[in-house]
């Protein structure tokens, strides 16, 4: 055998070895994930929303199903007879973790059928509710099918006739979704829900309350107070809409410290004001109202807006915020006017004390909110 033949053989061997190495590298990608184990923890929930009743199909992986059944072989669930015997227990567990509320009434789920899906290594349970007493306008869904699996996801699809009413993904932190029917009844239900959410947000947000109170401390006629309130309303309505519509939305780690600084600014300006100076409050209410609007938007994004009634829901939330704000103005303004009328000497000291308290609270929130992003970043490094 010549040297040329030896070299040719060596080249062919090297080529074969390269091909084998490539196959070895690509083999894991070519083998289906389920062939080596259940490494994608997700389920599907399909809700058929009809006028007279609801139908729910839960499709779960056989490994997840067997985990809540207390043991057994996942492969055995692919046998219809085995699944039929174990499906009542599985249905009882899953129906308790997938709850439906039509308007204000919770609906019980009744198991209709259980089907093995061997190709998907999954089982599909079909449930139906009892007949609805009346067509519902709002559907609330709570879902935590497998809470022991931290990264489990459930893909939700809600259909209303031929229309896809909603799509969502349930996770360990996002466990609730609300869907509204098409037509006036669904729009009215969405409007009422987000109106309440706006009012609630004002009263559970002490930073927004303190900012408004700080603007009111210096008093003034009803015309002046209305101008201050209108400037704040106009400004936060603009940025709330801009953020929710996706045009521009700064991160919350930047917005929240600025909201705290706005409170500090208002308190300091109250302490610096002297008689004869111009009223700075309208300008401050508008400028900082833009910042507060981005804060409202971050809360509203967490709640979520229904795509089928986006404009009405956004308007309702904004009106709810204004309702809460108006309640604060109507409560604080007469009280401050009464203090000035009854105790004219004490009023300036009381206003100064309140202003110092506002500055202290704003400074505390600023430090707390400015440190939190740094703490999170350092924990990840």
pLDDT digits (tens, 9 = 90+) for 190-204: 899 889 988 988 888
Nearest-angstrom CA–CA distance, 126 and 115: 8
pLDDT for the residue numbered 158: 94
Beta strand residue intervals within the chain, DSSP E:
42-49, 54-61, 98-102, 105-107, 110-117, 122-128, 138-143, 153-160, 163-170, 176-180
Q: What is the mean pLDDT of residues 300-311?
A: 74
Q: In the numeric block, which tokens belong to residue 253?
A: 């780690």
Burial class (CB in 10 A: 0-12, 13-18, 19+), 171: middle
Contact 289, 232 (CB under 8 A): yes
pLDDT for the residue numbered 28: 39
185: CB partners within 8 A, 6+ apart: 135, 137
205: CB partners within 8 A, 6+ apart: none
Q: What is the mean pLDDT of residues 266-279?
A: 76
Q: In the numeric block, which tokens belong to residue 94?
A: 């899953």
Q: How far apart are the first and last CA of the chain?
A: 62
The domain over range 186-380 is classified in CATH as 1.20.1250: yes
Where does the pLDDT of residue 275 fall: very low under 50, low under 70, confident under 90, or very high at 90 and above? low
Helix, strand or coil for residue 293? Answer: helix
Rg of the chain in Å (alpha carbons): 30
CA atoms lying within 13 Å on the CB side of residue 169: 6
Where does the pLDDT of residue 2 fall: very low under 50, low under 70, confident under 90, or very high at 90 and above? very low
34 has a pLDDT exceeding 50 = no
Contact 100, 139 (CB under 8 A): yes
The boundaries of every CATH 1.20.1250 domain in the chain are 186-380
* DSSP symbols for 194-255: HHHHHHHHHHH-HHHHHHHHHHHTT---HHHHHHHHHHHHHHHHHHHHHHHTTS----HHHH
84 has a pLDDT exceeding 50 = yes
Averaged confidence pLDDT in the chain: 83
* Phi (first) and psi of residue 323, to 5 degrees: -65, -45
308-355 confidence digits (pLDDT tens): 678 888 899 889 988 988 888 888 888 888 888 888 888 888 889 999
21 has a pLDDT exceeding 50 = no
Q: In the numeric block, which tokens belong to residue 80?
A: 């219809």
pLDDT for the residue numbered 15: 47
36: CB partners within 8 A, 6+ apart: none
Burial class (CB in 10 A: 0-12, 13-18, 19+), 64: buried
pLDDT for the residue numbered 367: 92
Q: What is the mean pLDDT of residues 20-39?
A: 42
Contact 218, 269 (CB under 8 A): no
pLDDT for the residue numbered 366: 94
3 or 345, higher pLDDT? 345
Nearest-angstrom CA–CA distance, 194 and 212: 22
Give bridge partners of residue 113 from the DSSP assignment: 126
Contact 160, 181 (CB under 8 A): yes
Where does the pLDDT of residue 7 fall: very low under 50, low under 70, confident under 90, or very high at 90 and above? very low
Question: If you ran DSSP here, which 8-state letter would residue 309 be given?
Answer: G
Nearest-angstrom CA–CA distance, 51 and 183: 13
């Amino acid at each position: 055998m010549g040297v040329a033949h030896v070299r040719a053989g060596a080249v062919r061997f090297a080529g074969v070895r390269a091909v084998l190495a490539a196959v070895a590298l690509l083999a894991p990608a070519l083998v289906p994930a389920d062939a080596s184990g259940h490494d994608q923890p997700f389920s599907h929930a399909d809700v058929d929303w009809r006028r007279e009743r609801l139908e729910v199909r839960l499709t779960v992986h056989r490994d997840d199903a067997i985990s809540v059944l207390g043991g057994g072989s996942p492969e055995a669930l692919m046998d219809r007879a085995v699944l039929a015997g174990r499906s009542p227990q599985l249905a009882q567990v899953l129906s308790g973790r997938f709850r439906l509320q039509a308007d204000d009434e919770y609906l019980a789920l009744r198991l209709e059928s259980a089907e093995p899906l061997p190709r998907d290594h999954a089982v599909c349970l079909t449930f139906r509710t009892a007949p609805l007493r009346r067509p519902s306008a709002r559907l609330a869904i709570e879902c935590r099918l497998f809470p022991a699996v931290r990264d489990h996801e459930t893909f939700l699809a809600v259909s209303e006739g031929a229309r896809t009413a909603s799509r969502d993904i349930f996770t360990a932190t996002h466990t609730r979704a609300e869907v509204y029917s098409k037509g006036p009844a669904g729009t009215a239900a969405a409007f009422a829900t987000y109106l309440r959410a706006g009012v609630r947000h004002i009263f559970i947000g002490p930073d927004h309350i303190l900012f408004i109170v700080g603007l009111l401390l210096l008093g003034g006629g009803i015309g002046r107070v209305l101008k201050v309130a209108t400037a704040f309303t106009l400004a936060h309505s603009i940025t709330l809409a801009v953020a929710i519509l996706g045009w521009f939305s700064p991160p919350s780690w930047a917005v929240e410290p600025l909201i705290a600084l706005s409170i500090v600014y208002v308190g300091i300006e109250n302490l610096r004001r002297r008689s004869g100076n111009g009223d700075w409050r309208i300008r401050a209410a508008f400028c900082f109202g833009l910042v507060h609007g981005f804060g409202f938007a971050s809360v509203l994004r967490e709640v979520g807006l229904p795509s089928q009634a986006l404009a009405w829901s956004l308007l309702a939330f904004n009106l709810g915020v204004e309702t809460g704000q108006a309640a604060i103005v109507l409560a604080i303004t007469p009280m401050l006017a009464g203090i000035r009328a009854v105790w004219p000497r004490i009023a300036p000291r009381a206003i100064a004390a309140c202003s110092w308290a506002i500055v202290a609270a704003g400074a505390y929130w600023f430090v707390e909110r400015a440190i939190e992003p740094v703490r999170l970043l350092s924990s990840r490094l």
